[in-house]
A and B are shown apart, each in its own frame.
With several copies, the nearest count.
Chain A
Amino acid sequence: MASVLDVARIKKDFPILSRTVRGGHPLVYLDSAATSQKPECVLDAERTFYETSNAAVHRGAHQLAEEATQAYEDARAAIAGFVGGAPEDLVFTKNATEGINLVSYAFSNATAESAWGGAPDPRFILAPGDTILVTEMEHHANLIPWQQVCARTGASLRWIPLTEDGRLDLTNLASLIDSTTKIVSVVHQSNILGTINPVRQIMDAAHSVGALGLVDACQSVPHMPVNVDDLGADFITWSGHKMLGPTGIGLLWGRTEALNGMSPFLSGGSMIESVYMDHSTFAAAPSRFEAGVPMVAQSVGLARAVAYLDDLGMDAVHAHETELTAYALSALEQVPGVQIIGPANNVDRGSAISFTVDGIHPHDVGQILDSEGVAVRVGHHCAWPTCRHFGVPATTRISTYIYNDSSDIDIAIEAISTAQRYFGTRV
C-alpha cells in the first residue's frame, strides 16, 4: 500500500521503533490510542530547555525566568494555534482527565459556593431536576466526573444510547436535551469503537436549550484537523501524550467567557490577583486554572510535537490513517472468527479498531500478538459500559498512527492467525 506519508522516513524519527521485544521480534507498535511514541526532536526540545533555560515561569526577574516564561507562553500560542484557538483560551493541565474534571468541578464548586453566600455564574449552579448528558461510549474520564458531580449536587445523569453498529442513537436527542440540561459532554472519536460522532449537531442542540457543551477530543486532535470554531463547543479537552508529546501534559481549550465564568479549580500560587489571610481574588483565564509550578519542559516538548505534525500536515495525517484503517478493516474481515466491535465500515471512523476472536479471550489474543512483537491493548479500554453494551468482557484493540504502515497490519493479522492455531480454534 502506498501512503500519503513517507512512513519509512517517519519511523526513523522514533528511536523506540527500532528496538526488538520478546526475544528478537521487531517492535510493531499498534497501541497509539493509549499513548503515542515520541520523535527525537520532541525529546531534544525538552532536553534543550532543561539545559539552557530551566526556571520557574511568571516569577523571577532574571534571564532564565524570562526565557522560561517566553518558552512556556510561546508553547501555549503554538498549541492553541494548532486547533485554531487563541492562547488566552488554552489551559495547560496534566492530562485530558484533569481538563474534564476541571470543568466538572466548576459545577460542583459553584453549587457549593452559592449555598454559602457566594455569587458564582448561575450557569454552573446545579440542583435536583437538572441533568447532565453524556453518551454510552464515553471513556471513564468523561463519565465518572459527571457521576461524581451528580453525587455532589443532586443533579441526574442521562446518556445517549448506542446502535448495534457502534454509533450514537440520536433518535431521542430532542427529549434527552431539554430545559433541564446544564451541560452536554461528548467524545469526538471513541477510543474503543473508533466512531467519529457528529459533535457539532450535539453541541448546537445543547446551545439551543442554553446548556454548555464539552467535547472530549483525545482521539481526534492527534489524528485529524480539528478547529475549535468548527466543533461549536464551549470546552475541548485532549492530551499531549497521544500526539507525540511528553507524558504529564494535557489541554483544556474554552471560550473566553465560559472559562472566566468558572470558579477556580486547583488554587495556590500564580492563579491569584490578591491574597489576604481571610480571602483572595483570582486572575483571569488561563492563569486562574494553572496553580503552582506548571509543566514547563513538557509544554516545550509538546509545542515541538505540534510543529512536527504541522510539517506532515494534519490533512495528510488524516488521509494516511483513513487509508490504513480501510486496509486493516478489510484484512480483519477476512480472518475467520474475528468480530469487529464498532463500525465495520470506514465512514466517520477513526483508526482504533476493537475486535474479538471467537474462542480466545482478548487477553490471550493480546499475549500471542505480544509474543510476535505486536503491541496492542486488551481490556475494556476505560469504556467498560460500552463493553457491557456489546456483551463482551473486553476486546483486543489495534490503533495506528503516522509511523504505522500496512506491513504492520499484515504482521498483526498473521499473529491473530497464530493465536488461533495456538489455541486450536483454527487449523
Chain B
Amino acid sequence: MSVDALYQEIILDHYKHPRGKGLLGDSLAESFQVNPTCGDEVTVQVAGSAADVLIGYEGQGCSISQASASVMSEMLNGASVATMKEKRDAFIELMHAKGLGEPDEEILEDGVAFAGVAKYPARVKCALLPWMALQDAAIKAGLITEEKS
C-alpha cells in the first residue's frame, strides 16, 4: 500500500510496544505539548546531567507521535547533551526534507524509519511533537540554551 512508506514496520512496532514509556519519579524539568489541530498530547521529562540525560514520557495520540516518542526515548536515554543535539538536529532535518532526506542510520538509529513521514506534511507535526517537548524541557532544565527552533 502507498502508506507503507509512512507506516514502516519499525514505527508500528514502537507504537505497539513503546520503549521506556512512563514518567520519571524525579525530574529536572518537564514539558507538555499538544498538537492543536488533532489533540495529540505528550509530556516529556528530563533528568540526569549534561553527560547522561535521562528521559521520561507519557502521551496519547496517533501511531506517528507515539512511536516518535518511543524512538526518541530509546535513542537519547543516557546520551550526552551534545549527542542529544546532534540527533535532534538530524531528526528535524529529516522531517523537513519532504521525503527526499537520506538519513544516516549511525546517527538516527530507528529514527531512519521516519523518512517516509516527511512526505506527509500533516504528519510531520505528529513526529516532531515529542522532540519539541524534549527541546522545551531541556531548555527549562538548563541543559541547553534557548535557540531558534
Which residues from chain A sit less than 8 Å from chain B, CB to CB?
A: 22-23, 58-61, 65-66, 69-70, 272-274, 283, 361-364, 367-368, 371, 378-380, 384, 387, 393-394, 422-423
Verify if B18 is at the interface (C-beta below 8 Å from A).
no
Best-surrounded residue of A65, A69, A273, A393 (most CB of chain B within 10 A): A393
Chain B positions within 8 Å of A422 at CB level: 1, 3, 7
Could you tell me the distance in whole angstroms from the C-beta of A423 to the nearest C-beta in chain B?
8
Question: Contact at A59–B37, with CB atoms within 8 Å?
Answer: yes
Contact of A361 among B3, B61, B121 (CB under 8 A): B61
Distance of A361 Cα from B123 Cα, bound (Å): 13
Could you tell me if A361 and B62 are in contact, using CB atoms closer than 8 angstroms?
yes
| Contact of B38 with A378 in the complex, beta carbons under 8 Å | yes
Residue in B closest to A65 when the chains form the complex, CB atoms = B122
Q: A23-B2, A387-B39 are in contact. Are A274 and B61 (CB under 8 A)?
A: no
A-B pairs with beta carbons under 8 Å apart, 27 shown = A22-B2, A59-B37, A60-B122, A61-B122, A61-B123, A65-B122, A66-B120, A69-B121, A273-B36, A274-B36, A363-B62, A364-B7, A364-B62, A364-B64, A367-B3, A368-B3, A379-B38, A380-B38, A384-B39, A387-B39, A393-B60, A393-B61, A394-B38, A394-B39, A394-B40, A422-B7, A423-B12
Residues from chain B with Cβ under 8 Å of A59 in the complex:
37
Whether the pair B120, A367 counts as a contact (CB closer than 8 A) is yes
Which 5 pairs between the two chains have the least Cβ-Cβ distance? A363-B62, A361-B62, A379-B38, A371-B3, A393-B39
Report B29 CB to chain A, min CB distance, Å: 20
Across the interface, which residues of B come within 8 angstroms of A363, CB to CB?
A: 38, 40, 61-64, 123, 126
Q: How far is the CB of B8 from chain A (nearest CB, A)?
A: 13
Residues of A within 8 A of B60 (CB): 393
B residues less than 8 Å from A378 (CB atoms): 38
Asked if residues B1 and A371 are in contact (CB atoms below 8 Å), the reply is yes
| Given A274-B34, A364-B63, A422-B1, A379 contacting B39 (CB threshold 8 A) | yes
B134 CB to nearest chain A CB (Å): 19
Contacts of B40 in A (CB 8 A): 363, 393-394
Interface string of B1-44 (1 = CB under 8 A from A): 11100110000100000000000000000000010111111000
A361:B39 contact, CB within 8 angstroms = no
Q: Are A70 and B1 in contact (CB under 8 A)?
A: no
Residue-wise, chain B 45-71 has the 8 Å CB interface mask toward A (1 for contact) of 000000000000000111110000000
Instruction: Produce 1/0 per residue, B120-143, CB < 8 A to A.
Output: 111100100000000000000000
| Cα A377 to Cα B84 with chains together (Å) | 35
B66 CB to closest chain A CB (Å) equals 8
In whole angstroms, what is the CA distance A363 to B34 when docked?
Answer: 14
Inter-subunit contact A273/B34 (CB<8 Å) = yes
- Least CB distance from A222 to B in Å reads 23
* A272 adjacent to B36 (CB under 8 Å): yes
